[in-house]
Structure 1
Amino acid sequence: MVSLNVYSILVVLFLTCGTVMATKENDQIIKESNCETKTGLPYVLEAFTSIFITGSILNKCCSELVVLGKVCHSVLVKRTLENPLFKDLNPATIIAKSIKTWNNCLALIDSPSPSA
């Protein structure tokens, strides 16, 4: 269960610590778009884990990610990358994973459900 604790810590950092380090532009976008209140913590955790660790995301979380919106998704990822705790990560790699996650979720949501 250590990994669950690590994920929980990462999400808390994603939602809180980045605020101090975020640029004014990102902060303004996040505030104006209500990015931090549009989806629940379990979905944020799943999306964050997908982008920064595993590369996979549950279908339900994809739905929530799309509801969050591309602007909020992008700005929250960028804000997280500004946090000194993530200084060893390659921003280009994380942004690419972020885009891939977004596109995969969008395709999943836009595609018709298979009939049984």
Structure 2
Amino acid sequence: MASLNVYSVLVVLFLTCGAVLATKENDQIIQENNCETKMGLPCALEAFTSIFNTGSISNKCCSEIVVLGKVCHSALVKRTLENPLFKDLIPATIIGKSIQTWNNCLTLIDSPSPSA
């Protein structure tokens, strides 16, 4: 029984340290890549609503997401998920919506525009 308690403490300690390391890693990525300065506030809000709630994202904001880059996009989403305000969200669902938004924007930006 005592070994079960020790094991439980070690698992909790491992998970807690892992969460702290993940936070530092995302913060470091965001800081090193100046992620927070690459996208305007209106598009950041539009992307946030599209990923964390429901909504669409405009072509203009898709362009800003692609310029932001996949590394920044992913790190910002993961850091937001680490915020206690979003603890009730299902991370796999949000990350899936984030990847879908990224792929949709990338396709939209890479596809040739129709001729007038």
Q: TM-score range by the shorter chain?
A: 0.7 to 0.9
Provide Cα deviations, 1:83-115, integer angstroms capped at 9, x if missing partner: 011000000000000000000000000000001
Gaps of 5+ in 1: 1-21
Map of 1:112 onto structure 2: 112
Map of 2:70 onto structure 1: 70
Contact 1:81 1:91 in 2 (8 A): yes
Amino acid at match of 1:35: C
Higher relative contact order (CA 8 A, sep 6+): 1
Map of 1:57 onto structure 2: 57
Gaps of 5+ in 2: 1-21
Aligned residues: 95
Provide Cα deviations, 1:18-58, integer angstroms capped at 9, x if missing partner: xxxx7111111000000000111001001111101114111
Structure number, greater radius of gyration: 2
CA distance in 2, matches of 1:101, 1:27: 22
Amino acid at match of 1:26: N
Q: Which moved more, 1:22-31 or 1:58-67?
A: 22-31
Listed as ranges, the matches of 1:19-98 within 5 Å are: 23-98=23-98
Aligned-pair identity (%): 86
- Alignment root-mean-square deviation, CA: 0.9
The two structures have a TM-score, normalised by structure 2, of 0.79
SS in 1 for 2:104: helix
Contact 1:29 1:75 in 2 (8 A): yes
